[in-house]
């Protein structure tokens, strides 16, 4: 009763920890009464239709209008509607077909129509809104999109770009914040901000067509687009050891009873087109099962037979992009733990010792040294009734958080409030001779966060920044060498340069003996993995199978793998069938077996238009030319040094 009546979201979330969802026994999950479910069209009631993917629903509508429909569960071939019935329903079918077509064109053909909105990724939700706008037919509108390519495999990116161009072509303006190279190259005009982040950015470095960005030597984006900088493949990959975690009989959502081994002590990447079952495998089965095993978590994992090999690890850590805190009091200094030794240091200052101050005196969360007017927040909140609340600096401490006595204690002429207002880089310069503090600050700098302020409210940090703070916190801890780190698309919101720094951190975690398991579409991270698990071949009901496992070189040799095709054509990975790996489709005799809906052997040329293939070949040619140019320059430098 309290769960139903409370208006507090926090109370509701706390109660839900002790609740689990189960299918209603009365309607068996159909939501409707029997009399509503008795109405069928081609032997399918309305709930059976909504349980289908967008792609299957389109086929059903087509069958209603034009041809026979094979009811899969019943084995019955239904005839199309009569002429009279079609005259009544034709306009409705057109509307349904139009809306489903929009969803399909933005790469969401794998979603089921009854999918809960809460289970959609940010990119999926954004693409659904895009599809809605396409259907509206509006002109003269400014559309603003923040990374619409989030969660999209490169194979699906072409359809997204075509969708954005269709909005432009009818007279609209599309403004996008994006880090995806394919979207950048498709843009008519690019504005590159920088050159750095935080206080080192905020300037227009270059703007114009793609060539203007490429030619701008002070543009980090241009450096990566031109090939002056690159995220290179590792010269040597780690050896795959004997220890592994085995998932047997995974069958949640669209997974088709797959058995998967995850080698330990290496960098493992789970790939596949959007909707192929990656998140189901990693988040719904592996993460929830291991959380139950190690932490007695309440969430139930997805259906599977068993998971073995857990004795080889001692904990699992999910490093996601959720906020590091829900209130402005949370900040990088408190989350990483660096604020504790800083407070201890200030308590050892001679003046503080003479006054009898303890580390608690320098906390803004407890009485003593904090400003009591704002309770250490540094600001006061003014309720505006029907308008959003407004925050203003505290009139007593002027945003310093502390009272006068605490601010009088100085270390190298800096008060505790000054430290919270410093960037990580500035704080490192101040505390470089204090190892306990400097070591934690170095890890923040290593993940590319030298520009954020130690006291910056957690609510102002982006998802990518929050994730890297969590990574830095893990790096600063003493490693057991038996930890499994799980990351779901950590490159979301990251530029090329940020992705390179993230990759360095992930390799450091693995070098310490840990295992990194991540879901990723970013080709530069995928090609740096020691082991790839590729799911697919398609999305939804046509996915959920193990396409191939192995090193990037082996995956690139598998024609059935979309990921392999893109690694081969765009990332410079040289296919090697003799590399360590296994083509699961070939083992299962699937190469020449027609897939459902008439899809035969998977070739990238089968799903790209001639124009797209020409662009792909052109890009591959440019990449090859750039690589050859870099090799020539390296040879010339080597010759000049020897002479």
188-215 pLDDT per residue, tens: 999 999 888 877 889 999 999 999 999 9
pLDDT at 578: 65
Do 49 and 157 share a domain, yes or no? no
The H-assigned helical ranges of 491-583 are 496-511, 523-526, 552-555, 562-570
Tokens 């027609």 belong to residue: 594
65-118 pLDDT per residue, tens: 776 666 554 444 566 678 888 888 889 998 899 889 888 888 788 888 998 887
Q: List the CATH number of the domain containing 62.
A: 1.20.1580.10
Do 519 and 590 share a domain, yes or no? yes
- Between CA 582 and CA 547 the distance in angstroms is 9
Do 310 and 336 share a domain, yes or no? no
pLDDT at 345: 96
Choosing from 443, 459, 475, the residue where a domain stops is: 459
Q: What single string gives the DSSP state of each residue in 391-416? A: EEE-TTTTT--B-HHHHT--BTTB-H
Do 348 and 364 share a domain, yes or no? yes
- pLDDT over threshold 80, residue 184: yes
- SS3 state of residue 206: strand
CA distances from 617 to 5, 158, 520, 614, 631 (A): 60, 14, 24, 5, 21
Q: How many domains does the chain have?
A: 5
217-272 pLDDT per residue, tens: 999 999 999 999 999 999 889 999 899 999 999 998 889 999 999 999 999 999 99
- Work out the angle between the directed axes of helices 122-136 and 83-105 (0-180°, nearest 10): 130
Choosing from 105, 131, 147, the residue where a domain stops is: 105
Residue 624 burial by Cβ neighbours in a 10 Å radius (0-12, 13-18, 19+): exposed
* Nearest residue to 339 via CA among 450, 448, 417: 417
Do 188 and 267 share a domain, yes or no? no
**Beta carbons within 10 angstroms of residue 440's beta carbon:** 27
Do 587 and 616 share a domain, yes or no? no
479-495 pLDDT per residue, tens: 778 999 999 888 888 88
91 located within any domain: yes
158-167 pLDDT per residue, tens: 888 988 898 8
Do 337 and 438 share a domain, yes or no? yes
Q: List the CATH number of the domain containing 139.
A: 3.40.50.300
Mean pLDDT (the chain, rounded):
84
Do 67 and 130 share a domain, yes or no? no
- Work out the angle between the directed axes of helices 435-446 and 463-476 (0-180°, nearest 10): 140
Give me the domain span that covers residue 218: 121-226
642 located within any domain: yes
417 located within any domain: yes
Identify the residue with better confidence: 108 or 637.
Answer: 108
Most distant pair of Cα atoms in the chain: their distance: 96
**Is this model's pTM higher than 0.95 or not?**
no
Choosing from 75, 105, 135, the residue where a domain stops is: 105
């Amino acid at each position: 009763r309290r769960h139903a009546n409370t208006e507090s979201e926090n109370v509701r979330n706390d109660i839900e920890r002790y609740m689990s969802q189960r299918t209603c026994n009365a309607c068996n999950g159909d939501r409707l009464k029997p009399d509503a479910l008795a109405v069928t069209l081609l032997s399918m009631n309305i709930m059976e239709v909504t349980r289908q993917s967008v792609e299957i629903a389109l086929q059903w509508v087509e069958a209603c209008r034009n041809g026979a429909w094979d009811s899969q569960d019943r084995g019955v071939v239904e005839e199309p509607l009569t002429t009279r019935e079609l005259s009544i329903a034709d306009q409705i079918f057109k509307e349904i077909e139009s809306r489903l077509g929009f969803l399909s064109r933005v790469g969401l053909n794998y979603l089921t129509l009854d999918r809960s909105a809460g289970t959609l990724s940010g990119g999926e939700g954004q693409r659904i809104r895009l599809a809605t706008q396409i259907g509206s037919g509006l002109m003269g509108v400014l559309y603003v999109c923040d990374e619409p390519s989030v969660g999209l495999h490169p194979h699906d990116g072409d359809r997204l770009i075509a969708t954005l161009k269709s909005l432009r072509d009818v007279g609209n303006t599309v403004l996008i914040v994006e880090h995806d190279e394919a979207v950048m190259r498709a843009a008519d005009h690019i504005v590159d901000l920088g050159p750095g982040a935080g206080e080192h950015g905020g300037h227009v470095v270059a703007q114009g067509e793609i060539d203007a960005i490429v030619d701008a030597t002070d543009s980090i984006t241009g450096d990566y687009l031109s090939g002056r900088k690159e995220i290179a493949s590792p010269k040597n990959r780690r050896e795959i050891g004997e220890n592994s975690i085995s998932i047997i009989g995974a069958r949640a959502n669209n997974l088709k009873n797959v058995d998967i081994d995850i080698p330990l002590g290496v960098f493992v990447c789970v790939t596949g087109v959007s909707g192929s079952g990656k998140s189901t495998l990693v988040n719904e089965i592996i993460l929830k099962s291991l959380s139950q095993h190690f932490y007695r978590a309440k969430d139930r994992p997805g259906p599977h037979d068993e998971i073995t090999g857990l004795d080889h690890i001692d904990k699992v850590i999910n490093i996601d992009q959720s906020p590091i805190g829900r209130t402005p009091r949370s900040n990088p200094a408190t989350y990483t733990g660096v604020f504790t030794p800083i407070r201890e240091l200030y308590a050892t200052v001679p003046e503080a010792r003479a006054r009898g101050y303890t580390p608690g005196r320098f906390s803004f969360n407890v009485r003593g040294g904090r400003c009591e007017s704002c309770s250490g927040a540094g600001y006061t909140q003014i309720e505006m009734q029907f308008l959003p609340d407004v925050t203003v600096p505290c009139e007593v401490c002027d945003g310093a958080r502390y009272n006068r006595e605490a601010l009088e204690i100085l270390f190298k002429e800096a008060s505790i409030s000054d430290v919270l207002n410093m960037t990580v880089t500035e704080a490192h310069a101040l505390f470089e001779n204090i190892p306990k503090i400097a070591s934690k600050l170095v890890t923040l700098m290593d993940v590319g966060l030298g520009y954020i302020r130690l006291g910056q409210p957690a609510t102002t940090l982006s998802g990518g920044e929050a994730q890297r703070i969590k990574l830095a916190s893990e790096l600063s801890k003493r490693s057991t060498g038996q930890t499994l780190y799980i990351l779901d698309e950590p490159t979301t919101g990251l530029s090329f340069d940020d992705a390179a720094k993230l990759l360095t951190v992930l390799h450091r975690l693995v070098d310490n003996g840990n295992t990194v398991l991540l879901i990723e579409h970013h080709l530069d991270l995928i090609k740096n993995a020691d082991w790839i698990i590729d799911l697919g071949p398609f999305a939804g009901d046509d996915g959920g199978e193990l396409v191939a496992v192995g090193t990037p070189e082996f995956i690139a040799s598998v024609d059935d793998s979309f990921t392999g095709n893109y690694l081969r054509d765009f990332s410079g990975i040289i296919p090697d069938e003799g590399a360590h790996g296994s083509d699961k489709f070939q083992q299962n005799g699937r190469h020449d077996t027609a897939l459902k809906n008439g899809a035969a052997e998977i070739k990238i040329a089968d799903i790209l238009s001639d124009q797209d293939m020409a662009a792909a070949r052109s890009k591959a040619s440019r990449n090859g030319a750039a690589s050859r140019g870099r090799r020539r320059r390296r040879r010339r430098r080597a010759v000049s040094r020897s002479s």
